[in-house]
Amino acid sequence: DIQMTQSPSSLSASVGDRVTITCRASQGISNYLAWYQQKPGKVPKLLIYAASTLQSGVPSRFSGSGSGTDFTLTISSLQPEDVATYYCQKYDSAPRTFGQGTKVEIK
Amino acid sequence: EEQVVESGGGLVQPGGSLRLSCAASGFTFSSYIMNWVRQAPGKGLEWVSAISGSAKSTYYADSVKGRFTISRDNSKTTVSLQMNNLRAEDTAIYYCAKDRAVTRSPFDIWGQGTLVTVSS
């Protein structure tokens, strides 16, 4: 099975900072990659699909890139409401594996 | 409004069984793959199982294969997860989630989850 590895596991940044999270697939998955945001105590929310397409209603400070095995989620200007854990997920085929998560905090 | 609502969680002893249900509304249920995703306390998301819109195809994580069975009733717009031979490591919040599109896609609608606790 394909493994999904995120880095870093956690990060702390200041409001307004540019934040980058990476996700690596152990084999190529084309662009079948999604990013989710889970705020503390809340249900996961789809942010990006097809590696770079923003889900409706998601702020434009979020962006995604990549194809094949290497992917990136970028928050262009970190806001207090972005405190959350972010997960990548492959959905090309089963198992639809998630990455282990990246916890984003405000410094 | 598209939504899914889980039910059926609770406390069960190791080796016991539990059946989770997910009631869907607001979309053409039979057109979409439905999924179960779980999250152990303080841990990350783990995809558990999926079922095609026609129910002809089912998929499982290795960790539950042979113990869990997913099914759906398109006439009642419900999807279920029968969990047998439960283990302590199955303790988690179980989420029902809908595929975003009718072809390969991520999950755009999630329920609030139902808590399953496996303990003696």
**A73 vs chain B: nearest CA distance in angstroms?**
16
CA A84/CA A12 separation, integer angstroms = 11
Q: What is the pLDDT of residues A7-33, one digit of tens each?
A: 999 999 999 999 999 999 999 999 999
* Whether B110 and A91 lie within 8 Å, measured CB to CB: no
* Whether B108 and A92 lie within 8 Å, measured CB to CB: no
CA A35/CA A71 separation, integer angstroms = 10
Choose among A43, A45, A49: nearest Cβ to B105.
A49
**A16 vs chain B: nearest CA distance in angstroms?**
27
- What is the reported pLDDT for B103? 85
Q: Is B105 on the interface with A (CB under 8 A)?
A: yes
Amino acid at A107: K
- What is the reported pLDDT for B102? 85
* Whether A92 and B104 lie within 8 Å, measured CB to CB: yes
Close Cβ partners of A99 (under 8 Å, ≥ 6 residues apart): A4, A5, A6, A23, A87, A88, A89, B44
Q: What is the pLDDT of residues A59-105, one digit of tens each?
A: 999 999 999 999 999 999 999 999 999 999 999 999 999 999 999 99
The residue assigned the tokens 């539990």 is: B18
